[in-house]
């Protein structure tokens, strides 16, 4: 009787001479005796792969991976088998392993990307190329492939206008790496229309004048409007032709959506609504572990909506408890009325030695370096970036309980009266790491960009045409995104 080791060697010899049926028969017999031999499972998978029996090859490669000792090459073999079987998403599950084992190269990255292109998943293909580029710093050939592929994808136009791109910069940077992008920051109605005609997807950053103009023109592309806080409380939503809008993006506060519905009662039935909260990039807001102190930050222009009167009352109450606390204000006073209110109230309440006005700050992270608390007294916010960025830096937030605040932040950081404000500031509990973790868990920039990329990818696969159904088509595929 032939022993097991000889049986294995015989199987390998048969495989080398293309006697695959005999090789598989002997490998299967060997594996019945040595079921934990990873190399043998890999060899059998390789024979099946060469025969074009990809699904069976996958099963053998997976058995090899499950053994205690398996040849490292099995991971690349498994990825190639998944690609051959038309399952690039399964191949991507092994991306990090391939990279850590030194098995990833430009050819395999391109092979995976091609698999997604064949599966009509161009967004995933582009993500693979970018991920491969980050994993392979020397693989500069991927840059040319990314650039070439970008020209074949949907064209995206961002319409910003006078309301500014403060909340859009990360999104534009992300999108530029994947799509052809143009930005409209002002111009004539004719120029606006020409850019919409150029684009496959037009993103209106604010639900204001540009969105009103864009949706009043003949429909030529997919149209997205992103709704923030301020425009929802003005009549702007009533001026939008919602039949020309494919999706309304909100930033995470149900009360803001209620405000928009005040102007457009049937808004939810007129347009699909997707909730994509703002996101914070932890790399641009470095974390510092802090301890309780007496420096309180306030970030924002002193306007009525920021409720500076409550802010002064809170500091007056805190001064009675401990006169050593200081409030530092970073922001402009744009209204003469608020300038007079600030000057008068600061004096009338005896807060000259408590409130420090630092004005507008170009570098908020640097300005926050010596602060331990961030206070927000706004009567309403959408998804306030200033609070999230301060938390990411390890600063404790103390937030007035505005409509939607509990939905965004939970209860632990909220107050409703000056007395509760004082308790939040003076309580001994302080946990910088928890504030940072809260943002990383609930509001990472990566999650925001992923959701937006999914939205673009869906419209890329379903471009607008004159034959597109007005509502049923634009709702297609939004179920997984809509909140």
Specify the domain boundaries for CATH 1.25.40.10 within the chain. Answer: 4-85
Q: What is 4-85's CATH topology?
A: 1.25.40
Contacts of residue 181, defined as CB under 8 A and 6 or more positions apart, other chains included, come to 155, 156, 157, 158, 172, 175
Q: What is 282-442's CATH topology?
A: Rossmann fold (3.40.50)
**231 vs 248: CA distance, rounded Å:** 13
What are the pLDDT digits (tens) for 436-446?
A: 999 999 999 99
Which is the CATH superfamily of the domain at 155-279+446-475? Glycogen Phosphorylase B; (3.40.50.2000)
Contacts of residue 281, defined as CB under 8 A and 6 or more positions apart, other chains included, come to 170, 445
pTM: 0.88
Q: Which residue has the higher pLDDT, 323 or 163?
A: 323
Report in angstroms the alpha-carbon separations of 384 from 237, 278, 337, 376, 474. Answer: 21, 8, 24, 9, 29
**262 vs 363: CA distance, rounded Å:** 38
What are the pLDDT digits (tens) for 413-429?
A: 999 999 999 999 999 99
- As a whole number, mean pLDDT of residues 52-75 equals 93
Of 53-62, 137-146, 240-249, 401-410, the least confident? 137-146
**381 vs 233: CA distance, rounded Å:** 11
Token pair, residue 60, equals 């053998």
Specify the domain boundaries for CATH 3.40.50.2000 within the chain. Answer: 155-279+446-475, 282-442
**255 vs 378: CA distance, rounded Å:** 14
What are the pLDDT digits (tens) for 204-254?
A: 999 999 999 999 999 999 999 999 998 999 999 999 999 999 999 999 889
pLDDT at 474 over 60: no
Report in angstroms the alpha-carbon separations of 186 from 116, 207, 220. Answer: 38, 15, 20
Q: At what angle do helices 73-84 and 106-118 cross, to 10 degrees?
A: 20
Average pLDDT of the chain is 92
pLDDT band at 476 (very low <50, low <70, confident <90, very high): low
What pLDDT score was predicted for residue 473?
Answer: 46
Asked if residues 283 and 444 have their Cβ atoms less than 8 Å apart, the reply is no
**274 vs 254: CA distance, rounded Å:** 11
């Amino acid at each position: 009787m032939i022993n097991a080791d000889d049986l294995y060697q015989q199987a390998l010899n048969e495989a080398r001479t293309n006697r695959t049926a005999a090789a598989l028969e002997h490998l299967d017999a060997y594996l019945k005796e040595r079921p934990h031999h990873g190399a043998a499972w890999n060899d059998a998978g390789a024979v099946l792969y060469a025969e074009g029996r990809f699904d069976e090859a996958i099963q053998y490669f997976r058995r090899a991976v499950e053994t205690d000792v398996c040849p490292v090459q099995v991971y690349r073999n498994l990825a190639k088998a998944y690609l051959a079987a038309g399952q690039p998403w399964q191949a991507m599950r092994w991306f990090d392993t391939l990279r850590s084992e030194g098995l990833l190269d430009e050819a395999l990255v391109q092979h995976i990307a091609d698999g997604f292109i064949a599966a009509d998943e161009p967004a995933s293909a582009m993500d693979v190329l970018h991920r491969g580029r980050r994993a392979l710093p020397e693989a500069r050939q991927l840059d040319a492939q990314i650039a070439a592929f970008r020209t074949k994808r949907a064209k995206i136009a961002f319409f910003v206008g006078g309301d500014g791109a403060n909340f859009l910069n990360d999104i534009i940077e992300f999108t530029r790496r994947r799509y052809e992008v143009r930005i409209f920051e002002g111009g004539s109605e004719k120029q606006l229309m020409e850019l919409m005609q150029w684009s496959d997807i037009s993103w209106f950053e604010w639900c204001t004048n540009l969105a009103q103009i864009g949706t009043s023109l003949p429909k030529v592309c997919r149209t997205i409007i992103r709704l923030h806080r301020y425009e929802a409380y003005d009549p702007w939503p009533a001026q939008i032709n919602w039949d020309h809008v494919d999706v309304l993006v909100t930033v995470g506060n149900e009360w803001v959506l209620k405000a928009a519905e005040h102007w457009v009662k049937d808004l939810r039935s007129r347009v699909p609504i997707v909730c994509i909260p703002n996101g914070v990039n932890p790399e641009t807001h470095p974390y510092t572990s802090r301890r309780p102190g007496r420096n309180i930050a306030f970030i924002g222009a002193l306007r009525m909506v920021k409720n500076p009167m409550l802010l002064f009352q809170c500091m007056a109450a805190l001064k009675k408890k401990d006169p050593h606390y200081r409030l530092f204000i970073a922001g402009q006073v744009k209204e003469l009325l608020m300038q007079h209110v600030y000057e008068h109230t600061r004096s009338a309440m005896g807060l000259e030695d408590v409130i420090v006005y630092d004005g507008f700050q170009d570098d908020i992270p640097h300005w926050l370096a010596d602060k331990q608390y961030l206070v927000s007294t706004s009567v309403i916010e959408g998804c306030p970036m200033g609070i999230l960025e301060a938390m990411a830096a390890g600063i404790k937030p103390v937030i007035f309980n505005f409509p939607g605040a509990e939905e965004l932040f939970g209860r632990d950081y909220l107050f409703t009266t000056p007395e509760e404000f004082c308790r939040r500031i003076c309580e001994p509990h302080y946990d910088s790491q928890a504030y940072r973790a809260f943002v990383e868990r609930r509001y990472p920039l990566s999650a925001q960009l992923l959701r937006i990329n999914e939205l673009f990818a869906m419209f890329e696969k379903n471009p607008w045409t004159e034959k597109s159904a007005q509502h049923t088509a634009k709702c297609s595929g939004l179920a997984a995104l809509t909140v």
